[in-house]
Amino acid sequence: HQMDRLQHLLSVPFNLDGQKYPSTISIGMAIGQPNLEYRPADLLRDAHTAMYRAKALGKTRFEVFAAGMLTEAVNRLQLESDLITALDNQEFLLYYQPIVSLQSGVLAGFEALVRWRQKDRGFVLPSAFIPAAEETGLIMALGQWIFREACRQLRQWQELFPQHQHLTMSINLSNRQFSQPDLVTQIAAALEETQVSGECIRLEITESMVMGDVDRAFDLMLQLKSLDLKLAIDDFGTGYSSLSYLHRFPMDTLKVDKSFVGRLENSNEDRAIIHTILNLGHQLGLDVVAEVSETEAQVVMLKQAGCDYGQGYFFAKPLDHQ
Ligand code: C2E
Ligand code: MG
Ligand code: MG
């Protein structure tokens, strides 16, 4: 109750040069226990940890310190510290998952998916480290490495298998990379260095990246298109795409999110949603890829519905370069 009052009092907008500005406050609280000996510094540390938890949970709230929070914070710090050395130690590698044309059954390309092999943690999937890499900023250097490495691999395959020049490499971009001022220069340099032409590369971006500052995103996409790159919108249907913007963006591909494909076999309603997305994509002149096609039944339905490409365990899991 006291906390609520404090929160309320400190959240009153403040005056600056006659203008009112909003302020928010996140509070962390640690409580000493009579039978335990606390040093003041420990209490402050715990309150600090709780405050960061309050911020992480969306700010403008308060959290009371609990024992698990410290372990969690220490684990996170350890993860971030391990990540910093991972790039130098060459602990990252790329896996490649085939993307198959549903109508012809022919291999159309790959999506590059990053993996982390670490001595204590073993084989780590991106969901466990990409958020920390984003937060620490390591994603910039990592993303640059991923782009270059995927291009290098594609170039090598093009040289080994000259009859498969049409194969494309899809590469994921992270939020922070998308807002990096020198992204276009970096990509141009990597293409030049690896001797890969832009049209073989498909950059995957998500709805949330482009819906924030639409004008800036639009401008950036045009610059990327000027390098002949293909652009895909990843996990389509999970973000908050405004359909009124979608047709303005110079996109080539729409990747239907797994949540829709996964429900294909369940109900007519779910099939209707996929049909609608396919229609939308095709009306906008986009290729449609169904992510996470796992079963034969799904693949048959997707093919009948006119979906262009499939990617999923039914065809192959992500594989290393051999
Ligand atoms: P995404 O880009 O949507 O990638 C598709 C994910 O679905 C991959 O997970 C892939 O392994 C998984 N998948 C494909 N087919 C199937 C299937 O049939 N069944 C199931 N259960 N899963 C399937 P992964 O590799 O764990 O990557 C997860 C996410 O991490 C990616 O989602 C992407 O957002 C991010 N990510 C992966 N690699 C990179 C990268 O190099 N850079 C960046 N920025 N993000 C990446
Ligand atoms: Mg992707
Ligand atoms: Mg996806």
Summarised one tens digit per residue, pLDDT across range 145-167 is 999 999 999 999 999 999 998 99
Q: For the packed helices 126-136 and 67-86, what is the interaxial angle rounded to 10 degrees?
A: 80
Q: Global pTM? A: 0.87
Separation CA 116–CA 122 (nearest Å): 8
Alpha helices in 106-196, H assignment, sequence order: 126-136, 138-160, 175-178, 183-194
- Determine the residue of 99, 172, 263, 317 to mutate for testing ligand 1's pocket, defined as the one with the most ligand atoms within 8 A of the Cβ atom: 172
Does 123 sit in the ligand 1 pocket, CB within 6 Å? no
pLDDT attached to residue 1 = 79
**Atom 44 of ligand 1, residue of closest alpha carbon:** 174
**Segments of the chain scoring below 50 in pLDDT:** none
The pLDDT of residue 130: 95
The pLDDT value given to residue 14? 85
pLDDT for 194: 97
b/e code 52-83 from CB counts within 10 Å (16+ = b):
ebbeeeeeeebbbbeeebeeebeeeeebeebb
Ligand 1 site, residue 257, Cβ cutoff 6 A: no
Question: What is the biggest distance separating any 2 CA atoms in the chain, rounded to whole angstroms?
Answer: 76
Q: Is 80 in the pocket of ligand 1 (CB under 6 A)?
A: no
